[in-house]
Structure 1
Amino acid sequence: MGKLESAAITTAAGVLLLSVWKRIHNHPEAHGRHTSDAQSSASIQLQKLYERLWDLQMSDDPIVATMLGDYRFDSCLADLSQKGRKHLVSGLRSLLRDLKSVDYSQLNSPNDQQNHTFLFQLLNMEITAKTTFDIYEFPTNHVYGPHLLFSQVPALHPWRSVHDTETYVARLKCFKKQVEDMIECCQSGIRTKVTLPIESVDAIVAQCRSQVDLGANDVSKSPFYSSVALKFQELGGDLEGLRNAIKEIVIQGYSELGNFFEREYRKHARRSPGLCSINGGEKMYRGALKYFTSMDYSPEELYQLGLREVKRIKEEIRKVRKELLMLDPASTQISNDLSLPEFLEVLERNPKLFPDSRGSIISRYESILKRAHDRIPQYFHIIPAAELSVKPVEPFREESAPSAHYFPSPADRSRPATFYANTWKASTRPFYMMEAIALHEGVPGHHLQISIAQELEGMPRIRRQIQGFCISYTEGWALYSEYLGEVMDFYTQPIHMLGRLLVEIWRAARLVIDTGIHAFGWSREQAVRYLSQSAGIPEADVQAEVDRYMVLPGQACAYKVGELKILELKDLAMDKLGTRFSWKEFHDVVLRNGAVPLPMLDENVNHWIRECREK
C-alpha cells in the first residue's frame, strides 16, 4: 500500500509514469478480445464482475465487511488457513480470466472504460501481492492483524434485533479456529525461516496478555462483554451464552495465542528487522513497494528522495525557528545553533505546550476538527454527511499504536466515523503537532476523502472503498491535507507551523528508514537514532513507529510518494490554468473518482486540465 520523484516529482518522471499506465491500459490482455456483443452487454458483464469481487473481498474479510456496512457475514471471521488463501487467489484469478473476455471496444462510456482499467490493475496487483510479499507465513503482526481487528468487533457490530446478538456470539466462537489458523501459519514460517521481528512478537504477547487480564477473573470486565451487555439486555440477547463464549473461546484464545508466541515462536523470531535478512526478502520488498506506491521506483531511488526531502524540510524548520526567536529575542534557549533534538528538548520544558491529562488530548482534537470543518466549504464543493467522533485508543493496544488513526463510518451511516487519538504518555504528545495530525486523519484528510468516496453515485462499491494498491493515493491525500492547512491559513502561529513541518519531516524520514531497514540492512537501533535525530519525533512514538515499519514493509513509503504526485499535479494545473485555476474544482477531480493508482490520478487531472483549457 516503489516509486518516487525528487522534491516535487519531476515532470519527466510524471510523463514516464503516464506512458507506463497507458501501455497497461492499451494492452490487449487488459481489454480482452473484441466481440460483436452490444455495449450494454459488455457493461453488464463488467458490473457483475465488480459485484463478484465485492462478494469475494467481503467474505474473505468479514469484519471489514461489517465495518463497511455489509452485514451478511456478521457471524464469521476470516479464514486464515492455506485453504482459505488458495480460495481467495483462485477467486481473483477467475475474475481476471473473465475480465479478459469483456469486449473493451464495446465500453463506450468513459466511466466503464476507467472501471475496466481499474479492475484489471486491481486484480493483477492483488494476485501479485498474495504470491509475493503478503504471504501465508505472516498472518498477523502487532500493528495490524486478526487478533487486533477482532478486538474491534464490539465497536463495529450492528445492534438492530436479537438476531444481531446471535451473530455476535457466533462470531466470537469463530475465534478458536482463527487462533488455530494463525498458529499453523506461524509454524509454517518457523519451518521456512520466515518469521516476524522479535520486537513485534513481544508486542503481540503483551496485547494478548492485556486481553486475558481484562476478563480472566471477571468476564464482565472484558470489553467483549462490557461494551455490549446493555445492547444484549435491550434486544433480549442470551447474556449467559455471551459470558460462556467470552470465557471459553475469546479469553482462552488470546491466552493460547500469547503463550504460543512467547513459548514457541519467540526463539525463532528474527533478530534483524528487515526483509533483506530472510530468503527471498529482496523480491518481497520490491513487490511491497510496487503495491503500496502503485509505481516502480527502486529502493535506492526512494532512499535518495527521502534524504532530499528531509534536507529541504529541515531548512523550512530553520526558518520557523528564526521566527520564534524573533518573537522572543531575549530567549537564548531557542537559538538556531541548537540541533533539532536539542531544540525540541527546550520546548519540552514548557508545560503549556503539552497536555496535562489524557482528556485534554481528546478535547484539543475535537476543537481543532471543528475549526477545520468550518473552513472546508471555502475549498471543497462536496461536504459528506458522515459524522466524525474522537475517541482514545483502547488501553490494550495504545502502547504500540500510532499517535492517531481513522476508522470510516459504514455505508449506512449507522455509526459515526472514528478518529482514534493515542493518549498513552499524554504529557509527551505536544499540542503543536495536533493541527497537522487532525487535518491528516480528519478533515480535509481521510475522513473527507473516504466519506466522499463512499457517497459517490454510479460508482461500483469496490471503488467507493479503499483498495490496498491505491494506498499511495489515500495516504498521499492525507499528507497533502497537512500542506493544505497552509493554504487555508490554519496554522495561525509559528509554533503550529513548526508542528506541521515536524509531522512532514517524519513522513519524509520514513522513506529513508523503510528502505534502510528492508533493502540496506539497517538495525532497529540505527533506524530509531535516525528518526530521533532527523525528525524530532516525540519519545512515545519513536520506537512504535520504527517497529511499525519493520512489520509493514513499503507501506510507509506511500505517504510522501502520493503527496508529491498530488502537489506536482496541483502545480501543473495552476501553471496551465492560471487565473482559471479553482481549488474546489481541483479537489473535485482528485476526489470524485475514489481511490485510484497514481498513474490513473495523473491521467484524470491532465484530462481535466485539457477540458478547462478548451472551454
Structure 2
Amino acid sequence: MTFDHEPLLRTVTTIDRAANAYTERLLELDPGFATELGRPGHETEYRDYAPAGLKARADAARDTLAQLAALEPVDDVDKVTLHAMRERLGLALEQHGSGWQLAELNNIASPPQEIRAIFDLMPTATVVDWENISGRLANVPAAVDGYISSLRAGASSGLVAARRQVLTVIEQCERHASTDGFFASLATGAALDSTTPDTPELPAGLKSTLVANADLARTGYAALVSFLRDDLLPLAPDADAVGRERYALASREFLGSAVDLEETYAWGVAELERVIGEQSAVANAIQPGASIEEAKALLNGDPARQLKGTEALTQWMQQLSNAAVADLAGEQFDIPEVMRTLECKIAPTQDGGIYYTGPSEDFSRPGRMWWSVPEGEESFATWAETTTVYHEGVPGHHLQVATATYQKGLLNDWRRNACWVSGHGEGWALYAERLMDELGYLSDPGDKMGMLDGQRMRAARVVFDIGVHLELEIPEQWGTGTWSAEAGYEFLRKNLDISTGQLDFEFNRYLGWPGQAPSYKIGQRLWEEIRDARARKDGAAFSLRDFHTQALNLGSVGLDTLKEALLEH
C-alpha cells in the first residue's frame, strides 16, 4: 500500500509575513544559509564572521521581536509561530549578550568547520557550479579574518574556549591547510558530474583558477592555525567545564525548554542503568548466559553482519534506507513521492560522525545521509548501525526535515527552514529508533543490541555532559568524587562501544559543545511524554499516524512549543 498527499495550504498571515521577512534577512546576512536551501544568488560569499556580523544578526532578531509584539495570531499555526519565535529569538539575544558567540570554537560546530563544510553542499554539475566554488574558495581568507577578529574581541573580554578545543581545531585546520588537504583535493579533483562518457572537461583556465583559489583558502586556514597557536592558545583555560550559568543557557538553546539540570542528571543515571539491563536481557537471547560484551563479540564474529570497505557500507545503507521508505510510506507515515529519495554517501572528511543534510527547497538536491569515516577504518558492523540508518533517514531526520520543506503552503519560511532545535530534531530521531523497535524492525537480537547501544550512549552523554560541565558528584556505581574530563573519558569508554578515533572525537565534542549531546536523549524523553499524554487525552480516538503527521507538520520548534501545540491547542 502506498499513500500520497498534497501539501497543505493556508492564507499567509501578518505573522507569517514577519517570519518570512526575518528569514529573508537571515539569508542576506548568511549566504551559506542560502546555499543550504539551494537558493540561487550569493553562491561565492560567506557571512560576516566578525563582531559586526554577529551584531547584525542580533539586531535582526531584536527588530523582529518588536514587530511581533504588536501582532495577534489568527489561527493555531500563528500561535505556534509566535510562541516559537519569541522563545528562539529571545534566547538568541541572551546568547549575544553573553558574549560567548565571540569565542565560538569546538571540534564540530564552529566557524572553522562551517567555512569548509559549505562546499559539501555546493553543486558540481556545470561549469558555472565550479566557477561558484572557485569564487567561494577565494573568499575563504576574508571569512577566516572576520572570525579571527571575533576571537580577538572575545579574548579581550576574557572569553576563550578551553585549551583542549583550541588544540583540536589547530589539528583540523592544519589538515585543511596542507598540500593534500580538503581544499587542494577539491581543486585537483574538479570534474563535471555526469554518468555519460562524453562529458566535457572543465576549461583549462577554470582548473588553473580553482587551484590558485584553493591555495588562497589553504593560506587562510594556515593564518588561522598561526593565530590559534600563537595568540589564542596561551590564553586558553585548562578547565573544560563551562559552569552552571553558561551551561543552562546552552541547554535552553538545544532544547527550547529550561529543564531542572539536577533532576535530569539523576534521570540520566537511572536511564543508563535501565538500558544496560535491557542489553543484558538481549545478550542472554543471543546466547544464554552471555554477558553484553560476549554477545557483542559473537555479533562481531559473524561474517554475515560485517561489511568491508566504504563502497559496501554505502550500498548497505542505501538498500536499508530504501526498504524503510517503501515499508513505512502510507502505513505509519504520510510520505509524499518527492520525499522518498534519500541519498546515502561517504562524507569528504575523515573527522568521524554521521549526519544528515536536508533537501533543497525544490527537492532537486535530495536529503542526504553522510558517514564521515575516520582514516584507516575499513570494517563496519551492520548490527551496530541498522538503527543509525533509521535515525538519520526514515523515520528519523529525513522524514522530519523533508516534511517541513514540503509543507511550504502550511508553514512560513522561518518555520520550514530557519528554525532547528536539537532537542526536537535529535529527540525525534531517537524516538524514531525506539519506534522502529516497537514496529518490529529490530526484532533481530543483534539489531536490537545495536539500538540499545545507541540508547546507552545517549543516556551516558546526559550523565557525562551535565556531570562534567557542572562538576557534579559521580554516581557511586561509576566512581567517587566529582566529575573531571579524565574521569568522564573512562566513563564514556565503558559505555560507548566505538573505535578509539570515534571516542576521542565524541569526547572532545561533548566538552566543546556543552548542552548539545544530552539534547538527544532528553528530547526523546519529552517526545515520548508528549505522545503518551496525547494518547491519554484522545483515548480511543488516538491515531499514531495522525499524531506523527500533526507533529511533523509543525516543523522544528522548541520542546515547550511542541508540548503546547500538541497538547494545548
Instruction: State the superposition RMSD in angstroms.
Output: 2.8
State the AA in 2 paired with 1:100: A
TM (norm. structure 2) is 0.87
Q: 2:521 matched to which residue of 1?
A: 560
Say if 2:189 is the partner of 1:226: yes
**Alignment partner of 2:176 out of 198, 206, 211:** 211
Q: 1:473 matched to which residue of 2?
A: 424
In the TM superposition, 1:116-195 aligns within 5 A as 116-132=82-98, 134-138=100-104, 140-158=105-123, 164-195=129-160
Change (3 A) 1:433 1:348: closer
Q: 2:381 matched to which residue of 1?
A: 430
- Distance in 2, Cα, partners of 1:93 & 1:449: 29
- Check whether the contact 1:293–1:557 (CA below 8 A) recurs between aligned residues: no
Change (3 A) 1:275 1:561: same
Say if 2:11 is the partner of 1:46: no
Shift, 1:77, TM fit: 0.4
- Distance in 1, Cα, partners of 2:306 & 2:227: 40
Change (3 A) 1:558 1:237: farther
Secondary structure of residue in 2 paired with 1:238: helix
Change (3 A) 1:357 1:243: closer
Q: 2:228 matched to which residue of 1?
A: 261
> What are the superposed Cα offsets for residues 399-438 of structure 1, whole Å, 9 maximum, x if unpaired?
x332x11111111223222211133353564321211111
**Alignment partner of 1:113 out of 79, 86, 90:** 79
Q: 1:460 matched to which residue of 2?
A: 412
User: For structure 1, which segment, 119-128 or 543-552, has the greater mean C-alpha deviation from structure 2 after superposition?
Assistant: 119-128
Gaps of 5+ in 1: 1-39, 277-281, 327-333, 609-615
Q: 1:571 matched to which residue of 2?
A: 532
User: For structure 1, which segment, 422-431 or 552-561, has the greater mean C-alpha deviation from structure 2 after superposition?
Assistant: 422-431
Gaps of 5+ in 2: 1-10, 195-199, 472-481
Change (3 A) 1:533 1:168: closer
**Alignment partner of 1:392 out of 332, 338, 346:** 346
- Distance in 1, Cα, partners of 2:221 & 2:338: 38
Change (3 A) 1:428 1:509: farther
In the TM superposition, 1:12-91 aligns within 5 A as 44-91=13-60
- Distance in 2, Cα, partners of 1:346 & 1:427: 19
- Distance in 2, Cα, partners of 1:110 & 1:401: 41
- Distance in 2, Cα, partners of 1:365 & 1:133: 42
**Alignment partner of 2:401 out of 426, 450, 457:** 450
- Distance in 1, Cα, partners of 2:147 & 2:358: 26
- Check whether the contact 2:100–2:154 (CA below 8 A) recurs between aligned residues: no
- Check whether the contact 1:229–1:239 (CA below 8 A) recurs between aligned residues: no
How many pairs does the alignment contain? 540
- Check whether the contact 1:159–1:165 (CA below 8 A) recurs between aligned residues: yes
User: For structure 1, which segment, 421-430 or 596-605, has the greater mean C-alpha deviation from structure 2 after superposition?
Assistant: 421-430
Change (3 A) 1:428 1:308: farther
Change (3 A) 1:241 1:423: closer
**Alignment partner of 1:98 out of 62, 67, 78:** 67
- Check whether the contact 2:100–2:159 (CA below 8 A) recurs between aligned residues: no
Shift, 1:63, TM fit: 1.2
Shift, 1:235, TM fit: 8.4
Shift, 1:58, TM fit: 1.7
- Distance in 1, Cα, partners of 2:520 & 2:390: 14
Q: 1:274 matched to which residue of 2?
A: 241
Q: 2:479 matched to which residue of 1?
A: none
TM (norm. structure 1) is 0.81
- Distance in 2, Cα, partners of 1:421 & 1:410: 20
Secondary structure of residue in 2 paired with 1:385: helix
Q: 1:503 matched to which residue of 2?
A: 454
- Distance in 1, Cα, partners of 2:202 & 2:135: 19
Shift, 1:192, TM fit: 3.8
Say if 2:388 is the partner of 1:412: no
- Check whether the contact 2:465–2:511 (CA below 8 A) recurs between aligned residues: yes
Which runs of 4 or more aligned residues in structure 1 lie more than 6 Å from their structure 2 counterparts after TM superposition? 229-232
- Check whether the contact 2:163–2:237 (CA below 8 A) recurs between aligned residues: yes
- Check whether the contact 2:359–2:365 (CA below 8 A) recurs between aligned residues: yes
- Distance in 2, Cα, partners of 1:354 & 1:539: 19
Q: 2:316 matched to which residue of 1?
A: 364
Q: 2:554 matched to which residue of 1?
A: 593
- Check whether the contact 2:332–2:544 (CA below 8 A) recurs between aligned residues: yes
Change (3 A) 1:423 1:171: closer
User: For structure 1, which segment, 361-370 or 504-513, has the greater mean C-alpha deviation from structure 2 after superposition?
Assistant: 361-370
- Check whether the contact 1:133–1:287 (CA below 8 A) recurs between aligned residues: no
- Check whether the contact 2:108–2:509 (CA below 8 A) recurs between aligned residues: yes
